[in-house]
Amino acid sequence: MANDQENLLKKVISHAKEYGFVFPSSEIYDGLSAVYDYGQNGVELKNNIKEYWWKFMTQMHDNIVGIDAAIFMHPTVWKASGHVDAFNDPMIDNKDSKKRYRADVLVEDAIGKMEEKIEKEIEKAAKRFGESFDKKMFSETNPRVLEYKKKVDEANERLKNAMTGNDMVAMKQLIVDLEINDPISGTKNWTDVRQFNLMFSTEMGSIAEDANKIYLRPETAQGIFVNFLNVQKTGRMKIPFGIAQIGKAFRNEIVARQFIFRMREFEQMEMQYFVKPGTEMEAYEFWKAKRMKWHQALGLGTENYRFHDHLNLAHYANAACDIQFNFPMGFKELEGIHSRTDFDLKSHEKFSGKKLQYFDTESNQSYVPYVVETSVGLDRLFLSILSNSYKEEKLVPKNIGTDGEEGNERVVLSIPAALAPYKIAVLPLVKKDGLDEKAKSVVDQLKSTFRCYYEEKDTIGRRYRRMDAIGTPYCITIDHQTLQDNTVTLRDRDTMKQERVAIQSLKEKIGESVSMIKLLQSI
Ligand code: ATP
């Protein structure tokens, strides 16, 4: 990560804490790794992001409905989905550096290095022999190349066997035999390898038997798959249709860092779109374009988003891509769009013994639908908005001259107005002469329409700074003139420009620019 970018992330983290957006979990006990709490401003921003997603997906698509499934599910769900057997990473610790690694990644890196050596031998020989060089012959006969190749093949074979046979003793032996050093401490002082399932488990009921073991869901999608027929039948849904859900998911990530980008408890907003087999690619392209438009309507800069196609597809997918965002750590996954075929529904049919098919009245046929899913991390969206809108600005003289502005720099969060925690701050210039009462009466008039902040302490300039720092789009100042003619100053967060506005026209004046409806219409 470049230094500026690293600094930006640090600044965003401390700003988020200082201004009540995100706190480390259980901070008085020194926190809990990769778990965070949302504060008084964070929860508002988060709720507004959810509303933006929920309304777009459900209200603006008449063939999409939502559900709210439980976090606990029958344990067989996770057998059928493949998570019990395959949502694993083998991990190993180095006792000197105290760093944790994925054991398979360490072996793959070591194999990669041996392959590089083969390439180097070939390159050297090609130079030595010039025109007459026969690469195939050389690779098949040169003793050194053959020796490396043998080692690579052996290592690959042993890695495959250890992984498929779940043999972590063999995995450790492989790391020892390959003489792998910790990249940080340089030593070979390794712990044993442990297979690590990323799912959290707990027990249901009072008897701690294996049969009572249940999991905290690692994705929300399965709650939708198991309810597919319930919703289709009771909602009389016709294919193509979608089911949307917002909810918590839990993953015991081995390497969890980068603030709320990779958490152990996080929130997903997912939609599974059920289609007729054979039409899934059309749906996939449709949702790719729609989701990208939804992101870009936020106004964080179209250049900050890009698609990234998956080259190694999961065995059940026939197309998959990510929408990446330009985070302070660089372009990283924000949302996944996957064409999952009929894998999940078929597997649930097999494990539950129940039919999960759609009866198509037009063709008089039953079939298991194909699924295209869109899956976005709410916390990652939150981070994309927070990091993109964090700005340190030097105030040019013209701004310093603007009424009440203090100092020559400011930190402002230019959060999209419709998502801002507060839309308006109402500030009496001084707390006397009845200005405070007048200000409170303005709050009373506006608070059923907009979330308002009232503050009477400190100079007006300091209060403006605090509102900038939490991204409040408008400040309304009540001064002595207000008492005479019922006008106020309306200050714009981004331009810092002020204008005189009649109290009765405030709703109309502010309404459009902070409106969720307007934002939804712009997609
Ligand atoms: P990654 O490759 O970054 O681990 P993933 O491919 O495992 O992510 P998916 O299983 O596709 O992620 O989950 C869908 C979305 O859920 C991701 O695009 C991301 O926004 C979010 N997400 C996944 N894991 C986490 C996490 N540990 N913390 C926060 N958000 C997450």
Query: How confident is the model over 154-195, as pLDDT tens digits?
Result: 998 999 888 778 899 999 999 999 999 998 999 999 999 998
pLDDT at 4: 75
User: Distance (Å, rounded) from C-alpha 296 to C-alpha 30?
Assistant: 38
pLDDT at 85: 86
- Any ligand 1 atom below 6 A from CB of 258: no
User: Distance (Å, rounded) from C-alpha 286 to C-alpha 292?
Assistant: 10
User: Distance (Å, rounded) from C-alpha 333 to C-alpha 390?
Assistant: 20
Instruction: Name the token pair of 312.
Output: 């190694």
Range 360-368 contact pairs with CB under 8 angstroms and sequence separation of 24 or more: 360/239, 360/276, 367/276, 367/277, 368/277, 368/342
- Cβ within 8 Å of residue 171, ≥6 positions away: 90, 103, 104, 107, 159, 162, 163, 193
Distance 373 CA to ligand 1 centre (A): 13
Distance 261 CA to ligand 1 centre (A): 8
- Any ligand 1 atom below 6 A from CB of 182: no
Burial class, 71, CB count within 10 angstroms (exposed 0-12 / middle 13-18 / buried 19+): middle
Task: Please name the residue whose Cα sits nearest to atom 10 of ligand 1.
Answer: 219
The answer on pLDDT for 313 being more than 80 is no
Query: Domain-by-domain residue ranges, the chain?
Result: 1-73+217-392, 88-197, 395-521
Nearest atom of ligand 1 to the alpha carbon of 375: 14
pLDDT at 88: 82
Question: Looking at 69-78, 79-88, 158-167, which range is the least confident one?
Answer: 158-167
The CATH T-level fold of domain 88-197 is Herpes Virus-1 (3.30.40)
Kindly report the average pLDDT of the chain as a whole number.
93
Q: What is the DSSP letter of 166?
A: T
Among candidate residues 186, 193, 211, the one with its CA nearest the CA of residue 201: 211
Out of 3.40.50.10420, 3.30.930.10, 3.40.50.300, 3.40.50.2300, select the CATH number for domain 1-73+217-392: 3.30.930.10
Average pLDDT over residues 463-468: 96
pLDDT at 271: 98
- One DSSP character per residue, 323-359 reads EEEEETTEEEEEEEEEEEETHHHHHHHHHH-----EE
pLDDT tier at 458 (50, 70, 90 boundaries)? Answer: very high
Distance 511 CA to ligand 1 centre (A): 35
Pocket test for ligand 1, best of 258, 268, 329 (most atoms within 8 A of CB): 268
pLDDT at 397: 64
Average pLDDT over residues 303-320: 85
Question: Looking at 140-149, 353-362, 403-412, which range is the least confident one?
Answer: 403-412
Distance 337 CA to ligand 1 centre (A): 12
Q: What is the pTM of this model?
A: 0.85
Pocket test for ligand 1, best of 38, 313, 333 (most atoms within 8 A of CB): 333
Distance 277 CA to ligand 1 centre (A): 27
pLDDT at 234: 97
Task: Please name the residue whose Cα sits nearest to atom 20 of ligand 1.
Answer: 377
Task: Determine how many CB atoms are found less than 10 A away from the CB of residue 84.
Answer: 18
Q: Each residue of 349-375: b (16+ CB within 10 Å) or e?
A: beeeeeebbbeeeeeeeeebbbbbbbb
Question: Looking at 46-60, 157-171, 207-221, 234-248, which range is the least confident one?
Answer: 207-221
pLDDT at 205: 80
Domain spanning 395-521, CATH architecture? 3-Layer(aba) Sandwich (3.40)
- Any ligand 1 atom below 6 A from CB of 262: yes
What is the percentage of the chain residues whose pLDDT exceeds 90? 82
Instruction: Name the token pair of 499.
Output: 């204008």
- Cβ within 8 Å of residue 49, ≥6 positions away: 378, 381, 382, 385, 419
Question: Looking at 46-60, 91-105, 171-185, 401-415, which range is the least confident one?
Answer: 401-415
CB 428 within 8 A of CB 404: no
What is the percentage of the chain residues whose pLDDT exceeds 70? 96
Among candidate residues 8, 5, 80, the one with its CA nearest the CA of residue 344: 80
E runs forming strands in 104-189: none
Measured between alpha carbons, how far is residue 309 from residues 186, 336, 375, 519 in Å? 36, 10, 15, 28
The label of the residue with tokens 């529904």 reads 345
Average pLDDT over residues 101-105: 85
Instruction: Name the token pair of 315.
Output: 């065995």
> Is the bond leading into 240 cis (omega within 30 degrees of zero)?
yes
Q: State the pairing for strand pair 370-377/194-197.
A: unpaired
pLDDT at 400: 53
- Any ligand 1 atom below 6 A from CB of 336: yes
Distance 325 CA to ligand 1 centre (A): 13
Distance 336 CA to ligand 1 centre (A): 8
SS3 call for 367: strand
- Any ligand 1 atom below 6 A from CB of 465: no
- Cβ within 8 Å of residue 112, ≥6 positions away: none
Which sign, positive or negative, has the C-alpha torsion 259, 262, 266, 270?
Answer: positive
> Nearest-5° angle of CA 120, CA 124, CA 130?
140
Average pLDDT over residues 203-207: 76
Question: Looking at 89-98, 204-213, 324-333, which range is the least confident one?
Answer: 204-213
pLDDT at 55: 98
Nearest atom of ligand 1 to the alpha carbon of 270: 14
The label of the residue with tokens 């053959």 reads 146
The answer on pLDDT for 356 being more than 90 is yes
Average pLDDT over residues 441-454: 96
Average pLDDT over residues 240-265: 92
Alpha helices (H) along 274-327: 280-296
Average pLDDT over residues 49-56: 98
Q: Give per-residue pLDDT as tens, 109-164.
A: 899 899 999 999 999 999 998 888 999 999 999 999 999 999 999 998 999 888 77
- Any ligand 1 atom below 6 A from CB of 335: yes
Average pLDDT over residues 32-58: 97
Distance 377 CA to ligand 1 centre (A): 6
The answer on pLDDT for 208 being more than 60 is no
Distance 446 CA to ligand 1 centre (A): 39
Question: Looking at 13-22, 124-133, 494-503, which range is the least confident one?
Answer: 124-133
The answer on pLDDT for 297 being more than 90 is yes
Question: Looking at 116-120, 480-484, 500-504, which range is the least confident one?
Answer: 116-120
